[in-house]
Amino acid sequence: MEYYDCYAASYAAAREKFLAASAGCGGDVRSFVHPDRTAPGGAPLAIEVARFGDRRAGRQALFISGTHGQEGFSGSAVQIGWMSSGGPARLPSGLGVVLVHGLNPYGFAHFTRTTENNVDLNRNFVDRSAAPLPANLHYETLHDALLMGQWTADENARVDAVLAAFTEQHGRDALFDTLARGQYVHPDGLMYGGHEREWSNRALEAIVQETLGDAEKVAFIDWHTGIGDYGKPFFLCFNEPGGALFARACDWWGRDNVVGVRPHGMERPSYTGLVFHGVQRFLGNREMCGAVIEFGTRGVAMRRVLRLDQWLRRQDGLDPDLRAALQADMMDAFCPFDGQWRADTLASGLDLTDRAIAGLATW
Ligand SMILES: [Zn+2]
């Protein structure tokens, strides 16, 4: 199996590869088709769910790709690779695997990190029964200054200076937390968590109800890119530190990889509204253990790419050649074209998948 058998160049191709791979190894597939949005060219947008192993077992694995749209090319490749390399046939008895492909299909298809409403889906799962929505007071002071007028070196230098001044006053950790934790006020801003639940959020609740109804123990991976060393996995475990589930994640993936790790060398932001939190809530008091697993790309330089993503979302009528050039840069940032990066992340993703399944089997 070569990396290019698994890595696709478009959402449509990724979806096709995913469906072909699951058909080739006996997966039960169900598609959740987006009711009113389409891919470029009018093709359907859908979240695909493929099930393997014992559908009624109390132990189930839930592996998700495409929460952050364009980051999904990598997670999708791992899912496709797992199916194509005989993963389902190797499953131990007494457990099932649920693959969720393209949780944010709009972002995946349109080469952006956010949803059809410019919502960061991985900040959208706040508990909306418990008002008010989380505040991000520092972000309020920065939002206007962070909006790029034009995509130029001068404008980027201006914003970088604003961030440097903030860092001077509050420190790097506070800046990272402010930019990354999520905000619920500015729909045109960074890490906007949304005023209401996104379609993908509701679809995931339906998927959890349908596929994990009998589950008592759930192994969870949400595949992302952008944090960590180039081509290497980086773990963000959101089980309670010091608790039994956190210890279990350490057993699966290595204590040194999970405990006290610092994204981009900084303190981990207090992220709000994660998919991880949402699935935990959907499961009630049933146990879930797992992590967001990132593959590193450009390190802290991703900050500029996130701005580019937001700027491009606001540019109707941009010269097509300029758009293509900037989108190529974004693609290379979220999913490097470098074949070695793709081969390494695929191999690593398959290994981490197998380790989670082995851990689930003996849980
Ligand atoms: Zn992400």
Instruction: Provide DSSP, 318-359.
Output: --HHHHHHHHHHHHHHHS---HHHHHHHHHHHHHHHHHHHHH
* Ligand 1 centroid, distance to 114 Cα (angstroms): 10
Dist. CA 225–CA 88, nearest whole Å: 25
**Residue of 269, 266, 267, 239 whose CA lies nearest to 253:** 239
Tell how far the Cα of 186 is from the centroid of ligand 1, in angstroms.
19
Q: Give distance in angstroms: CA of 306 to centre of ligand 1.
A: 11
How much is the pTM?
A: 0.97
CA-CA distances (angstroms) from residue 344 to 2, 26, 335? 11, 27, 12
Report the separation in Å between the CA atom of 337 and the middle of ligand 1, taken as the mean of its atom positions.
18
Q: Which of 357, 361, 355, 208 is nearest to 286 (CA)?
A: 208
Question: pLDDT per position in the chain (363 positions), as tens?
Answer: 999 999 999 999 999 999 999 999 999 999 999 999 999 999 999 999 999 999 999 999 999 999 999 999 999 999 999 999 999 999 999 999 999 999 999 999 999 999 999 999 999 999 998 779 999 999 999 999 999 999 999 999 999 999 999 999 999 999 999 999 999 999 999 999 999 999 999 999 999 999 999 999 999 999 999 999 999 999 999 999 999 999 999 999 999 999 989 999 999 999 999 999 999 999 999 999 999 999 999 999 999 999 999 999 999 999 999 999 999 999 999 999 999 999 999 999 999 999 999 999 999
Distance CA 127, CA 148 (A): 31
CA 56 / ligand 1 centre spacing (Å): 31
Distance from Cα 108 to the centre of ligand 1, integer Å: 12
Q: Are 50 and 28 in contact (CB under 8 A)?
A: yes
Q: How far is the CA of 198 from the centre of ligand 1 (A)?
A: 16
- Rounded distance between C-alpha atoms, residue 329 and residue 102, angstroms: 21
